[in-house]
Amino acid sequence: MRIKNFFIRRKSREVAKDRLKILLISDRVNCSPEMMEMIKTDIAKVISKYMKIDAESMEIQISKTDSKGRDKTPTLYANIPILDLHKNIN
């Protein structure tokens, strides 16, 4: 995260929209909003080891999809903006 982005205040409308998305998604798969945030944070940490990403714009979604002949199973989708594929690894 860049320092200047830290001080930029998001509009309350955007924050409310993000919170509502998380609430609706978590309700569909019986996963609490807190758990969704922990999953998002963990995914961002792991991917950040290998490439530079925009974690603030990252979106995750869990939905139920049909599985070959079985009941619907939860599936995780992630939209993670990549800023740079070549991160210097120390």
Per-residue pLDDT reduced to its tens digit, 14-72: 777 777 776 666 666 667 778 878 888 999 999 998 999 999 889 888 777 776 766 77
The pLDDT of residue 28 is: 63
pLDDT score, position 87: 66
Residue 80 has pLDDT above 90, yes or no: yes
CB 78 within 8 A of CB 59: yes
Among 17, 28, 34, 12, which Cα is nearest to 61's?
Answer: 28
Q: Assess whether pLDDT exceeds 80 at residue 3.
A: no
Q: pTM above 0.85? A: no
